[in-house]
Structure 1
Amino acid sequence: MPVTETRRALAGVTALTLALCAIAFTEAAYAAKPVGSDKGATTEQSAGSNSNGIYAAARITYSGSVAPNGGSGNVTSADVNWTPPPCWYAPYLGAKDFKEKMSQDIESQMGAPGMGGHAGAALSELKRHYEDEYGWTDTPGYKDYNVDKDGEGMFWAAVENPDEPDVLKRSSCNDLPFWVDNGEAPPPQYEQAITPEILAALAYQHMQLPDTEVSLAPEQTTKVNLPTWAWLDKAVFDEVQATASLNVPGFNLQATTTARPVSLTLEPGTDDAVTYPASGECLINNDDSIGEPYARGKADRTPPCGIKYLRSSGDGTYNLQATITWDISWTGTGGAGGDLPDGTFGNGQAVTVQEIQSVNR
């Protein structure tokens, strides 16, 4: 069978086989349970093994300030072009377990009605790829699924990020499962093989930042043309960390992302207002606070961080948005590390603005 025809037929058939692997792996990787809270729920996803001690699925463990139940956190990237990885390759099964699963999958598909012609031939080539070390025409294969190396490495398979909305991106890791020896790096052609940097991006995606409630003076109710002071005490927030780890025999990686608050941005909720400073962005002070608390004797001063409303809110309120920008960096296995895009998260606060009535006599 010509190589081009074989690969064309394999494009559809192997996708089904890969999907079976990826679905099993993904479900295991995100089967999380909440175990406590620390500035947001802490989610832990530990690895599981079968009775032979071979890891049936390498699970990513999330710990620290992360969203519960393996969900996405509340961080919004300040870089609109940055997104978490849509998919990756990671350790899947040991040789004996992989042989059992793949043999069953291939035999089941070959026995399906109408599985003939190019599709049937492609399945035969796929089977030969894992049974014959010479593989199909131009692709080296494995001798008997590498069972003679069981315990010395693992087959790696594609994992879809369940939080990626684009199905094409999510399924773009479509290479056949491949073998990696314990302690060795995946072959260089698998650029999406999991790394500390990918784990850092996943930790970022799952990070849960604390709520932001700004102290105001006057509190909740203010007056037209009266400067309202805004501040965050340094005790209100600290740096936040989230860690993603992957631990299987012969392959251990982890990465920790650290978010540090750097500024507070105020959006009054109406165009009839001015902010202090004019940009609305209040930078962090040397003592790690933001803004300055109001105190007696400051009534004639302009607040370093605050708002002045120019029109009454009437019978309603203005929705003041207070958003903190966080500087986010990461460190990982082997001394790896770097910067990730700044993250933002904020809350809305209802503010009542009243008109001061005066009577002239």
Structure 2
Amino acid sequence: MLISSPAYAKRGPGGSDGGAKTSGSSSGNTLESRITYSGSVGGTNSTRTGNVAPVGNWNPPACWYEPVSAKDFQNQVESQYSEVVNDPGQPNYAKAATGQFRDMYKDGKYKNFNLDKADEGNWWVAVQEPNRLDDPNAFTCSKLPFWVQNGDTPAVQNAVTPQVLAELAYNRILLPDAEVTLAPQNVTKVNLPTWAWLDPSTFKPVQVTASLNVAGLNIQATTTAKPVSLKLQPGTADAESYPASGACAINDDDSIGEPYSKGKSNKTPPCGIKYLRSSGKGTYNLKATITWRINWTGTGGAGGELPDGTFGATQDVTVQEIQSVNR
């Protein structure tokens, strides 16, 4: 069921028109999206997760356009109109603006919401990402609902396509905390190399699928994130990283780093840190950030790459002032 949010006096459904404006709450008074999402964090027992952060200046769309049938559009507009005009708390200009919007599609530029053309096309409406309403880009899809004939491609940016679905799925990828295994664990020594690694059974590719099946449009896209490297930041300048860049590449078996075992005490860890100063009575905040390579596949054989994403977490490490130990 398509749902509109309660109307307030600022912005209209899908945009503005000649200064007549009303507003919505969390969905900006646009129609609620019919896009569905499936998928979850894969291959991890971590109870702590977070959204992937794109590398660079790219971000998934904060708004887009998608189709809705003539009947559903009529129901939404009439419901919104009734809600606003019958609300004594709404100012008169909000009621007037909502009425103007309704009249445009009922008795004005269009007639009776194009119900007599329901088999020929659909209304396309702006939808905002509910978690991005503080982003100015969420208000760039400012076109009022417009009619599109079946088979035509809307000539607007962010009209929903398999790629747009893939980008929206990107925004919903949940990744596990990058809590690495350390040796020594949690408490290490000054000038003692600390080994760090991630087990391949813990960090596996994560997938989210976005689907839209409405008003004759049936498309989907699956976005996949795969871990490719781990970057360690020791939490102090008094430390050395292995490798020097702090970026540990993924191994052929999809692990990162190498577990410590007896007999390796004189070896340099392929992934790790050496602290040069004690943490005193406190701890250092070791930050581990995983970079995820992200690609997608979609309806009709479409697909490609999306910008890499990162997600990181910190863990406390105590460093004691002991110059040498036997292990």
TM-score normalized by the length of structure 1: 0.73
C-alpha contact 2:61 2:167 (8 A) present in aligned 1? yes
Residue from 111, 126, 147 that aligns with 1:158? 126
Other structure's SS at 1:200 match: helix
Residue from 293, 298, 305 that aligns with 1:327? 293
C-alpha distance in structure 2 between counterparts of 1:73 and 1:181, whole Å? 40
Other structure's SS at 1:314 match: coil
Identify the residue that residue 244 of structure 1 maps to in structure 2. 210
Comparing 172-181 with 143-152, greater Cα deviation is found at 143-152
C-alpha distance in structure 2 between counterparts of 1:357 and 1:302, whole Å? 17
C-alpha distance in structure 2 between counterparts of 1:124 and 1:233, whole Å? 61
Residue 307 of structure 1 and its aligned partner are, at CA, apart by 0.6
Residue 99 of structure 1 and its aligned partner are, at CA, apart by 3.5
Identify the residue that residue 46 of structure 2 maps to in structure 1. none
Residue 284 of structure 1 and its aligned partner are, at CA, apart by 0.8
Identify the residue that residue 207 of structure 1 maps to in structure 2. 173
User: Whose helix proportion is higher, 1 or 2?
Assistant: 1
Aligned pair in 2 of structure 1 residues 247, 310: CA closer, same or farther (>3 Å)? same
Other structure's SS at 1:148 match: helix
C-alpha contact 1:106 1:127 (8 A) present in aligned 2? no
Residue from 56, 60, 65 that aligns with 1:84? 60
Q: Does 1:144 align with 2:121?
A: no
- Deviation string 1:194-243 (CA, Å, 9 cap, x unpaired) is 11122111111110012222111111111110111111122221111111
Name the amino acid aligned to 2:58.
Answer: W
Other structure's SS at 1:296 match: coil
| Equivalent residue pairs, number | 300
Name the amino acid aligned to 2:38.
Answer: S
Aligned pair in 2 of structure 1 residues 124, 342: CA closer, same or farther (>3 Å)? closer
Name the amino acid aligned to 2:299.
Answer: T
C-alpha distance in structure 2 between counterparts of 1:355 and 1:21, whole Å? 56
Identify the residue that residue 17 of structure 2 maps to in structure 1. 10
Other structure's SS at 1:228 match: strand
Residue 150 of structure 1 and its aligned partner are, at CA, apart by 2.7
Other structure's SS at 1:23 match: coil
Q: Report the identity percentage.
A: 56
C-alpha distance in structure 2 between counterparts of 1:309 and 1:100, whole Å? 65
C-alpha distance in structure 1 between counterparts of 2:79 and 2:253, whole Å? 63
TM-score normalized by the length of structure 2: 0.80
- CA RMSD, Structure 1 to Structure 2 (Å): 3.3
Name the amino acid aligned to 2:279.
Answer: S
Name the amino acid aligned to 1:150.
Answer: A
C-alpha distance in structure 1 between counterparts of 2:91 and 2:260, whole Å? 77
Gap regions ≥5 residues in structure 1: 1-8, 30-58, 67-71, 136-141
Aligned pair in 2 of structure 1 residues 202, 236: CA closer, same or farther (>3 Å)? same
Larger radius of gyration: 1
Aligned pair in 2 of structure 1 residues 11, 108: CA closer, same or farther (>3 Å)? farther
Identify the residue that residue 60 of structure 1 maps to in structure 2. 35
Other structure's SS at 1:10 match: coil
Other structure's SS at 2:143 match: coil
Residue from 68, 71, 85 that aligns with 1:96? 71
Alignment of structure 1 residues 1-361 onto 2, 5 Å:
10-13=17-20, 15-16=21-22, 22-23=28-29, 25-26=31-32, 29=33, 59-65=34-40, 73-79=50-56, 81-92=57-68, 94-99=69-74, 101-102=76-77, 127=103, 130-131=106-107, 135=109, 142-166=110-134, 168-182=136-150, 184-188=151-155, 190-356=156-322
C-alpha contact 2:27 2:129 (8 A) present in aligned 1? no
Residue 131 of structure 1 and its aligned partner are, at CA, apart by 3.7
C-alpha contact 1:73 1:206 (8 A) present in aligned 2? no
C-alpha contact 1:10 1:123 (8 A) present in aligned 2? no
Residue 95 of structure 1 and its aligned partner are, at CA, apart by 2.1
Residue 100 of structure 1 and its aligned partner are, at CA, apart by 5.1
C-alpha distance in structure 1 between counterparts of 2:197 and 2:135, whole Å? 43
Name the amino acid aligned to 2:142.
Answer: N
C-alpha contact 1:21 1:157 (8 A) present in aligned 2? no
Residue 180 of structure 1 and its aligned partner are, at CA, apart by 3.0
Aligned pair in 2 of structure 1 residues 18, 318: CA closer, same or farther (>3 Å)? closer
